[in-house]
Every structure is written in structure tokens, then in C-alpha cells.
A and B are shown apart, each in its own frame.
Chain A
Amino acid sequence: MSTDKPHKKRDIFIDGPIDPAFVAESIAKHATRTDIGGHEIFLGQVRADGAAGTGDACIARTAAIDYTAYRDMANEQMTPIREEAFARWPITCLHVYHSQGVIKAGELCFFVFASAAHRQAAREAVAYVTDEVKKRLPIFGKEIIADGGHQWKSNT
């Protein structure tokens, strides 16, 4: 694993769901970084919500979310969030991935991973970055309803 600099530009998007094996590999890559004392991870998973307006949540549930993004803007907006996290907490590295495309209920769509010498910095950085990504990145989600139809997800 190369050292992660806050200014490094990268693409956070992964086509399709985030494979749990990819999460495991990401953790394993940090074994050489013996200055790290703790890792903190947030994993977002697509939830089978009851569709709004249906009285019975068992009838119409979210089967999947089809994520699209204004990819160039989202990657650019990630840079200040990353810089804010590195400025506020003494973290050694930070990794963020978000899915694009159809992600079924139960699959992973969002992966935020920070490492630090001590747990508090990693915990707080992950909480901050997770919230800011949801607020500031132009990512759009079409909830595909199990019995047909769709509705648009909104974080606001």
C-alpha cells in the first residue's frame, strides 16, 4: 500500500456491488503499515425499505437501488472532504468507494475506511467522511420496487 496523500486524485466509483472480499483485501493491504494501531470501517448496505405510501411494508419493498452519479463532479467534491478529514484528525490513510449501477438489497454499496495510530481519530474521521459524502457528492439513487415501479431516493 502506497502512502495516501490528501491531494491524490482517484475515482471512488466501483461498477456493481462492493465485494466483501474487496473489503478484506483492503484491510490486508495495511499489514505493512506498522504505524497503524486501529482501523475503522463503515459499510453501507442496500436496505429493503417499504415503499413510501404503501400501508404495508411487506407488500412493496425496495428490491435494489440503481445508482448513477455525476462522476467527475463527485470525484472532485471528494478532494476537499478528504483534505478536511486529514486536517482534522491524525489519520494515516482514508479510502472511500461507492457503487454505480444496480445494487440489490443486502449488497454493499458504500465503503469508508480510515486507519490511524489510535482508534478515536479513525472513528471520528469515518463518521465525518460518511456524512459528508452523503451530503455533498452528486450521487443519485433509483429505488427499484419489488412489485414493479420505482421511486427516487433522497438524503435530504
Chain B
Amino acid sequence: MEVKLFGMIAEKAGAETIAVAAGTVRELRLAAEARIDGLAAMSYAIAVDRRIADDALKLDGNEEVALLPPFAGG
């Protein structure tokens, strides 16, 4: 599935998206951390269909998924 990247995470990856295979948010996290240097040490959240999701959530591959570094609005 395609994963959207933002801010510092997009910068580290050198890309706006990456493609990973994952059946849960936890698998997605591990796959992304294996792909993007430094991600494992970062504070970030995973959004599924534009809501913050926890590791246990199952994915069927049709969701809109994004990795979100710390928010900095305002």
C-alpha cells in the first residue's frame, strides 16, 4: 500500500510516498522503520483514513495511510 510521508519524515525518506505491504498498523510501522533511516528513533504518529491509529488496527490495503511527524501548527 502507498504511505504518505510528511515534514521531517518525507525529508528523511527523500520521497513524498513509499510503498509497503502490511496487514496491521504495527506491521506498517516496522516496514516503514526498516525503509526510512532514523524513523525508529523519531516521535511520529500513523494516520489511517485521516485519523490517528494504534498498532492493533488491521489494514486491508485500501486505506489512506500516512506517517506524521510532530505537529507544528500556529
Contacts and interface: CB of A to CB of B under 8 A. Distances in A.
B50 A140 contact: no
A144 B11 CA distance: 14
Nearest to B43: A156
A4 B51 CA distance: 25
Interface residues of A, number: 29
Which of B7, B66, B68, B69: most chain A CB closer than 10 A?
B7
Contact of B74 (A73, A76, A152, A155): A155
Interface of A: 44, 67-70, 72-74, 76-77, 98, 109-110, 130, 133-142, 152-156
28 contacts: A70-B4, A70-B6, A70-B47, A70-B66, A73-B47, A74-B73, A77-B50, A133-B73, A134-B73, A135-B71, A137-B71, A137-B73, A138-B6, A138-B68, A139-B72, A139-B73, A140-B6, A140-B8, A140-B72, A141-B73, A152-B8, A154-B69, A154-B70, A154-B72, A155-B70, A155-B72, A155-B74, A156-B70
